[in-house]
Chains A and B, each alone.
Chain A
Amino acid sequence: MSHLFEHKGAGGKGYSQPESIMPTDNLQIPSSLVRKDLPKWPRLSEPEMVRHYTWLSTRNFGIDTGFYPLGSCTMKHNPRVNEVIAQLPGIADLHPLQPEHQIQGTLSIFHEMQEMLGICAGMDAVTLQPVAGAQGEFTAIRCFQEYFRKRGESQRTKVIVPDSAHGTNPASASMAGFEIIEIPSQEDGRIDLNALRAVVGDDTAAMMITNPSTLGVFEPEIAEAAEIVHAAGGQMYYDGANFNAILGLTSPGIMGFDAVHYNLHKTFSQPHGGGGPGSGPIGVKSHLAEFLPGPVVKRRPILAGDRMTSVNKEWWYHWQEPENSIGKVQQWHGNSGAVIRSWAFYRRYGRDLKTMSQHAVLNANYLRHKIMQEAEAKGVGHRFCDGAPVDVVKHEFTLSFAPMKEEIGIGAMDIAKGLLDKGYMAPTVYFPLIVPECMMFEPTETESKEVLDEFAIKFVEVLQEDPDVLHEAPITTKVRRVDEVYAARNLVLSYPFDEE
């Protein structure tokens, strides 16, 4: 164990700085504001700092380390050229308040992304401003709210979410001031149209749902659901976390949705960075465009007086504030660096984004099949069941280990820890909440058949493992099972200098 705050460093010269451009002995800081004690930061030389963080990195698992089938998170390979592009001074060294004639290149890329995202989702207008999926949800719900306000329908105060929804859906709607109506799903995880019919009314503002659902299953009655909500005067919101399954195959627009967020860190390979940054643009149908956060990028033909740029000789790109904009959700123009990376990713596929989605679905179905087949062959097929009993899944699938828990006391979390010992990241556990002892697998399109074959074998080996061994797992990791209850009961949220 090596602690940042315990390095007995060389005296605080991590990197040398040039002298100030003027003497600083008389800066005339008001006496009440002069800092008395400097922060207790470590004093490291560069080699010590580099070694500390490199050491930490060896204690962390990423996609680059191994298979990372974390369902709902789309942990696909992150092409490295995107990182090179995002460091170019033409994006990294740009200020959001620079005038338009200095940023034509960036605006043209934003415009291309707005158009592309609109086309893929069947939406009419796009903003790149929200910085994560949850913020995209919040932004769209705010647009709904202003839309209703303008129509004199402010009595629409309820947002419907299925019980299978991700936690951010209800949290975002509630933050915007809506009451949440949770409706139960059917036995097989599909949306219950009768339950939906029973709750819609003239107080319905919206329904938030993802399709494929959080069980990885396509909702066959999605158009009917949209019809029910629309007939009641509500709006349909598409949680785009599962977009990787459907590009070029169907779209939220075709299914009847009014607004959608995209998780660029999922579908478009912005690296997840240990928790972020992400980017959560939203797309809306035309009736909501006037409410989008502003500004959005527009273009017009070049005029004689325009200052020429080398982007192209046809178009002038400019910011424009939507007429009845809800205002801002982030102070600037969103996570532009993530948008640029996602643009580079888009350019790699172009219209073949459809092939990408097909392969994401191919891999998920193949892995599901292989696990089932292997489990049957090894006589442990009865230890789990499908989260949703369907012939085909989309980009991810869920399995319930309730039978195994019942039979030998081994649940999803134990299996997850067993997988860590095999050198894999565990799938998502205990989500969606409606599947007991749930594990959710999402291999993504960037894993080879060999990786999937091998994983299926190793996974079933875990299911065959002695329960006592699994209760003890993991044993090969840098630390063993971490006591989360202890952490919450004995809060130590920063380095305890007094304990020294």
Chain B
Amino acid sequence: MVDQLPNLGREKEMLEAMGMSSMDDLFADIPEAVRMNGELPLRGPQSEEEIIADARRILGANVALGDRVNFLGAGLNRNYVPASVFQLITRGEFLTSYTPYQPEVSQGMLQAMWEFQTLISELVSLKVANLSVYDGSTAAAEALTCAVRVHNRKATQKDTIYISELLPPARISVIENYTQGGGVVIKTLRHNSDGTLNLESLSEAAGSCGIYVEQPNPLGILDGGLTRVKEIIGDGTAFIVGVSPVSLGLIEAPGNYGADIVVGEGQALGSPITYGGPLYGIFACTNAYLRQMPGRIVGRSIDVDGQEAFCLTLSTREQHIRRHRATSNICTNETLIALMGAMHMSLLGPEGLQKLAQRNMAACELAKKKLSEIPTIAIPHVMNCHYNEFVVELPGAASDCIAYLDTQGLIGGYDLSNWYPERRNWLLVSFSDQTKAAEIELLTAHLAVWSASVSPGVSA
């Protein structure tokens, strides 16, 4: 405690300089009736050594992903982040700065974020990107409210948006919370039995304010049909795509097949999973949506000497100026995590990104090949191309299978009945650039044993 308060023990001297005699004088303005008397009923202070020892002991009781053979993903995958990224963001000039309200002494972060915008804009092939929103889920939600603001006046289906029926309930819930205030009606887009978007039913969405789908979709499927979406829904309806950013090293950028807004969870580029936060949400769009975009944007400018300089721009969209008419309430965002993303992207380069995407896909493909050899399980969408994950249909409940795999030292995947209650036997298994061939062998062997044990009349 003392090490954080340089004026401890000097209170008297400072008070006397102000003509006061006790610390209580500083709080004389708090009426008696609303004072808290006595001590806070909390524990005593600790030294740094004690804190770090406690942290190691308590957090050491967790099972880290790296302690196990892990197939849990469902939108957050364990990608390798180069060491230099972690080293560089500890620089206090970055770490301990705040929103660059004084651009003359904040050129470092401003330029880094302008470069981040460029990296993202190039990645998704859209003209503009902001410098991050909170995470992938709020990015999707803010994209939908943005679409309503842009299109509602001319929409034939007023206040209406469409989202994929496959979205995880948590993501839908965020979207509902963000859109309900505007009285927005959320309708769902149906899918075919092979897991791809049903393009016939998509025509129902024409005339609405916007649609939101993901590539890969929540079942890991890369859906070629999405390249036809824009021609079906037309110009008056926003086509919003949620992406896994690393996949774009191999998969076409949505900006090149008609997407108006691209969002996504940035985590795989630059950030550990950290139990689901902090992460960063990617948000990019065409010029038509720029003025209704949420969040901060950096622009290039000049200083009084005509030198290149950077500053925040288009702030009139934001809460500190526009107040209740702002495009979003976001203020503090995820700049430092976006900076980690920029550093990772800078190291990867175009070919590095491509290779990283290949490694992710290769792991998924190898797993699909191995698991499809198990006679007692099925891979319902096996004919599709997958990225990072796919569904396995088991001969018993996924929850039982996960419990069994846990006893064998595996974090076996995700029980999809949490998303789709009728799918008790669906297990979502995930693979990333960190997955080893031997781990896939292990999963295959354990799944074969477990599946045989629950399938009547089959011996492993």
Q: Which residues of A contact B97 (CB under 8 A)?
A: 60-63, 272-274
Question: What mask results when residues 92 to 134 of chain A are scored 1 for a CB within 8 Å of chain B, else 0?
Answer: 1111111100111110110000001001101000000001111
Partner of A64, one of B6, B93, B113, B252: B93
Chain B, range 62-84, C-beta contacts under 8 Å to A: 62-67, 70, 72, 74-76, 78, 82, 84
| A132-B333, A351-B40 given; A33·B108 CB < 8 A | no
Residue of B nearest to A83 (CB): B90
| A131-B134, A170-B324 given; A491·B356 CB < 8 A | no
CB of A14 within 8 A of CB of B274, answer: no
Q: For the complex, is A209 an interface residue (Cβ under 8 Å from B)? A: no
The docked-state distance in angstroms from the alpha carbon of A12 to that of B405 is: 40
Q: Which residues of B contact A428 (CB under 8 A)?
A: 101
CB of B349 within 8 A of CB of A95, answer: no
Partner of A448, one of B6, B100, B279, B355: B6
Q: For the complex, is A377 an interface residue (Cβ under 8 Å from B)? A: no
Q: For the complex, is B459 an interface residue (Cβ under 8 Å from A)? A: no
| A35-B248, A167-B318 given; A176·B181 CB < 8 A | yes
| A330-B174, A361-B26 given; A276·B334 CB < 8 A | yes
Q: For the complex, is B17 an interface residue (Cβ under 8 Å from A)? A: yes
Chain B, range 150-180, C-beta contacts under 8 Å to A: 168, 170-171, 173-174, 176-178, 180
CB of A180 within 8 A of CB of B177, answer: no
Q: For the complex, is A223 an interface residue (Cβ under 8 Å from B)? A: yes
CB of A27 within 8 A of CB of B358, answer: yes
The docked-state distance in angstroms from the alpha carbon of A432 to that of B380 is: 58
Chain A, range 7-36, C-beta contacts under 8 Å to B: 9, 12-15, 17-18, 20-24, 27-36
The docked-state distance in angstroms from the alpha carbon of A447 to that of B28 is: 23
CB of A272 within 8 A of CB of B98, answer: yes
Partner of B278, one of A1, A326, A338, A354: A338
CB of B40 within 8 A of CB of A250, answer: no
CB of A482 within 8 A of CB of B310, answer: yes
CB of A62 within 8 A of CB of B222, answer: no
Q: What's the least CB distance linking B266 to chain A, in Å?
A: 12
Chain A, range 478-492, C-beta contacts under 8 Å to B: 478-484, 486-488, 490-492
9 tightest Cβ-Cβ pairs between the two chains A and B? A332-B276, A64-B92, A90-B59, A273-B336, A14-B347, A177-B181, A60-B108, A96-B276, A30-B224
- 29 A-B pairs with CB atoms under 8 Å apart are A14-B346, A18-B359, A32-B224, A32-B252, A33-B251, A35-B248, A35-B251, A49-B347, A53-B112, A59-B107, A61-B102, A91-B274, A95-B276, A122-B36, A132-B333, A135-B330, A168-B331, A171-B324, A254-B35, A275-B109, A275-B131, A309-B61, A310-B57, A333-B276, A347-B45, A347-B46, A358-B11, A479-B308, A484-B311
CB of A62 within 8 A of CB of B36, answer: no
Partner of A363, one of B7, B117, B183, B369: B7
| A326-B177, A482-B104 given; A487·B301 CB < 8 A | yes
Q: What's the least CB distance linking A209 to chain B, in Å?
A: 14
Q: Which residues of B contact A105 (CB under 8 A)?
A: 58-62
Q: For the complex, is A382 an interface residue (Cβ under 8 Å from B)? A: no
Q: What's the least CB distance linking A391 to chain B, in Å?
A: 7
| A95-B72, A174-B181, A330-B134 given; A352·B1 CB < 8 A | yes
CB of B173 within 8 A of CB of A328, answer: yes
Residue of A nearest to B82 (CB): A15
Q: For the complex, is A298 an interface residue (Cβ under 8 Å from B)? A: no
CB of A271 within 8 A of CB of B251, answer: no
Q: Which residues of A contact B227 (CB under 8 A)?
A: 32-33
- Stretch of B203-211, B231-239, B292-300, B371-379 contacting A (4+ beta carbons < 8 Å): B292-300
Q: Which residues of B contact A49 (CB under 8 A)?
A: 84, 343, 346-347
CB of A42 within 8 A of CB of B365, answer: no
CB of A38 within 8 A of CB of B319, answer: no
The docked-state distance in angstroms from the alpha carbon of A492 to that of B34 is: 52
CB of B6 within 8 A of CB of A446, answer: yes
Q: What's the least CB distance linking B221 to chain A, in Å?
A: 10
Chain B, range 329-387, C-beta contacts under 8 Å to A: 329-337, 339, 343, 345-356, 358-359, 361-363, 365-366, 369, 385
The docked-state distance in angstroms from the alpha carbon of A336 to that of B267 is: 14
The docked-state distance in angstroms from the alpha carbon of A15 to that of B356 is: 11
Q: Which residues of A contact B406 (CB under 8 A)?
A: 99
Excluding A53-B112, A349-B4, A481-B104, 6 further A-B contacts by CB distance (< 8 Å) are: A65-B93, A218-B29, A218-B30, A275-B335, A328-B173, A351-B45
Partner of A62, one of B34, B40, B95, B435: B95
- Stretch of B135-143, B388-396, B445-453 contacting A (4+ beta carbons < 8 Å): B135-143
The docked-state distance in angstroms from the alpha carbon of A174 to that of B350 is: 42
Q: Which residues of B contact A81 (CB under 8 A)?
A: 48, 51-52
| A62-B92, A92-B272, A272-B96 given; A171·B319 CB < 8 A | yes
Q: What's the least CB distance linking B33 to chain A, in Å?
A: 6
CB of A486 within 8 A of CB of B301, answer: yes
CB of B39 within 8 A of CB of A24, answer: no
Q: Which residues of B contact A1 (CB under 8 A)?
A: 307-308
Q: For the complex, is A390 an interface residue (Cβ under 8 Å from B)? A: yes
Q: What's the least CB distance linking A466 to chain B, in Å?
A: 17
Question: What mask results when residues 56 to 80 of chain A are scored 1 for a CB within 8 Å of chain B, else 0?
Answer: 1111111111001010010101110
| A275-B100, A350-B42 given; A479·B26 CB < 8 A | no
Partner of B329, one of A99, A172, A391: A172
| A41-B122, A57-B108, A95-B76 given; A137·B174 CB < 8 A | no
Q: For the complex, is B111 an interface residue (Cβ under 8 Å from A)? A: yes
Chain A, range 301-354, C-beta contacts under 8 Å to B: 309-311, 326-338, 340, 344, 347-354
